[in-house]
């Protein structure tokens, strides 16, 4: 699939390219902790200062209000310039918490939070998964009881990315005592500095503390922080997943097209060799994924199940690309850039945001119309 771009779009591309060339940091971002927060916020604030954050966000909340095509052009130029990975600690706020507040929040919530997100002032994390509720999110049990004009939260979340450096959390809790499954949940904005919150970081196999357990002990959250209505949280959470599984990963998917070209350049395969064939096939698959991503983003009306197709294809393809890098580069992978790190991290791409099996279930039921497994 090709974008049909106007002359004005190409001018936009040229301006973005020039700005990124002059401004994209050359040093590598710190992987985690306070240093990663400082780095990510400084970079986002710099983008914002020059009008390069919130490309497609509405202008009244600090965005540029531009088309999805321009957003894609920005991402193309962004990855081309090898600007900092989009999967840094601003990811949740920019890609699904902010968009959810925009789609479902009150005017006050939007006016307060959205400009702070785009201006690089705050980090958000997500508190959905629990030890007993991951794929089966509706089984969640963290409770929030109404007490006057507040909710009082007790329970535990797990795998909350960037929770150790976050200011706010998109938190899904059970607000209707005794309610079951999808009923009686609420999506609330939790101030991570609230009394009663304990964050315990978890180190992943790449040696990075990307996520954390979060414990809530009588944490008081104003009722005015509920987004999308009290007890209506499942609907709001599905809006979040809509963004998380579809638009959130565009930057990551486009990053893969740069990675495969880098790998081909490093590998220098002999024409016709098994390595050349393997890399050629991967390059073709990456191009296919890119087309799927563009179609998912530009399709009108939007198709909610596109997200699962793109998410699943990306996760499995990323693993094949980084596996090939390990096989082909061998020990050189340790010397050339971040291949080893990317390889280890790629295992999480078929888990985060819903596992590959769950995406397959969604595709089977909602796209192929197959019967639901009881
Ligand atoms: C890098 C990373 C970042 C993450 N960040 C966050 C975050 O910020 N916030 C957050 O809330 N969560 C986050 N998660 C958690 C993630 O959403 C869950 O790990 C995921 O939903 C799976 O849940 P689980 O780990 O409880 O596994 P389980 O649900 O226990 O699944 C275990 C296995 O069973 C399979 N399975 C389960 N149910 C079915 C079914 N119905 N059909 C077929 N197979 C099934 C799964 O596919 C999986 O292989 C993150 C995870 C990772 C890896």
- Contacts with 175 (C-beta within 8 Å, 6 or more apart), sequence order: 143, 144, 145, 146, 151, 184, 185, 186, 230, 231, 233
Ligand 1 centroid to 362 CA: how many Å?
14
Q: Is 244 a catalytic residue?
A: yes
Ligand 1 pocket (Cβ < 6 Å) reads 125-129, 134-135, 159-161, 210-211, 348, 351-352, 354-355, 357-358, 361
Backbone angles phi, psi at 155, to 5 degrees: 145, -160
β strands within 98-184, DSSP E: 124-127, 143-147, 150-157, 168-174
pLDDT tens over the chain, length 374 residues: 556 789 999 999 999 999 999 999 999 899 999 999 999 999 999 999 999 999 999 999 999 999 989 999 999 999 999 999 999 999 999 999 999 999 999 999 999 999 999 999 999 999 999 999 999 999 999 999 999 999 999 999 999 999 999 999 999 999 999 999 999 999 999 999 999 999 999 999 999 999 999 999 999 999 999 999 999 999 999 999 888 877 677 888 899 999 999 999 999 999 999 999 999 999 999 999 999 988 888 887 677 778 889 999 999 999 999 999 999 999 999 887 789 999 999 999 999 989 999 999 999 999 999 998 76
Ligand 1 centroid to 357 CA: how many Å?
10
Element holding 122 (H helix, E strand): none
Domain 249-367 has CATH 1.10.20.10: no
Ligand 1 centroid to 318 CA: how many Å?
18
Residue ranges covered by each domain of the chain: 7-88, 124-232, 249-367
Q: What are the angstrom distances between the C-alpha of 359 and each of 182, 183, 251, 310, 362?
A: 19, 23, 20, 9, 5
Nearest CA to ligand 1 atom 32: 135
- Farthest-apart Cα atoms in the chain, separation: 72
Q: What is the pTM of this model?
A: 0.95
- Fold of the domain built from segment(s) 7-88: Butyryl-Coa Dehydrogenase, subunit A; domain 1 (1.10.540)
Ligand 1 centroid to 134 CA: how many Å?
5
| Catalytic residue from among 77, 170, 232, 244 | 244
Element holding 11 (H helix, E strand): helix 7-23
Q: Which CATH superfamily is domain 124-232 in?
A: Butyryl-CoA Dehydrogenase, subunit A, domain 2 (2.40.110.10)
Task: Pick the atom of ligand 1 nearest to 348's CA.
Answer: 53
Contact 151, 176 (CB under 8 A): no
């Amino acid at each position: 699939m090709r974008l049909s771009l106007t002359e004005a779009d190409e001018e936009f591309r040229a301006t973005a390219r020039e700005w990124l060339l002059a401004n994209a940091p050359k040093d590598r971002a710190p992987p985690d902790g306070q240093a990663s927060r400082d780095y990510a916020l400084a970079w986002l604030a710099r983008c914002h200062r020059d009008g390069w954050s919130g490309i497609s966000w509405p202008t009244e909340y600090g965005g540029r209000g531009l088309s999805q095509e321009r957003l894609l052009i920005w991402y193309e130029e962004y990855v081309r310039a090898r600007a900092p990975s989009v999967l840094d600690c601003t990811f949740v706020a920019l890609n699904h918490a902010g968009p959810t507040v925009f789609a479902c929040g009150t005017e006050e919530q939007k006016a307060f939070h959205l400009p702070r997100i785009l201006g690089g002032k705050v980090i958000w994390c997500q508190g959905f998964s629990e030890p007993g509720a991951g794929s089966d999110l509706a089984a969640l049990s963290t409770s929030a009881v109404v007490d006057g004009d507040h909710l009082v939260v007790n329970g535990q979340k797990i795998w909350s990315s960037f929770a150790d450096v976050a200011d706010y959390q998109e938190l899904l809790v059970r607000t209707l005592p005794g309610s079951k499954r999808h009923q009686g949940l609420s999506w609330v904005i939790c101030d991570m500095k609230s009394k009663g919150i304990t964050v315990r970081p978890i180190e992943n196999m790449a040696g990075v503390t990307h996520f954390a357990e979060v414990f809530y002990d009588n944490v008081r959250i104003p009722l005015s922080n509920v987004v999308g209505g009290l007890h209506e949280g499942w609907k709001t959470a599905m809006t979040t997943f809509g963004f998380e599984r579809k638009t959130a990963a565009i930057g990551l998917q486009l990053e893969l097209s740069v990675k495969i070209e880098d790998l081909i350049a490093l590998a220098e395969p002999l024409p016709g060799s098994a390595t050349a064939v393997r890399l050629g096939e991967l390059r073709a698959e990456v191009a296919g994924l890119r087309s799927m991503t563009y179609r998912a983003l530009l399709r009108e009306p939007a198709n909610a199940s596109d997200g699962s197709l793109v998410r699943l294809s990306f996760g499995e393809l990323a693993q094949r690309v980084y596996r090939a890098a390990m096989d082909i580069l061998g020990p050189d992978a340790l010397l050339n850039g971040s291949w080893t790190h990317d390889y280890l991290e790629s295992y999480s791409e078929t888990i985060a945001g819903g596992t590959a099996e769950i995406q397959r279930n969604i595709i089977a039921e909602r796209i192929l119309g197959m019967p639901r497994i009881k």
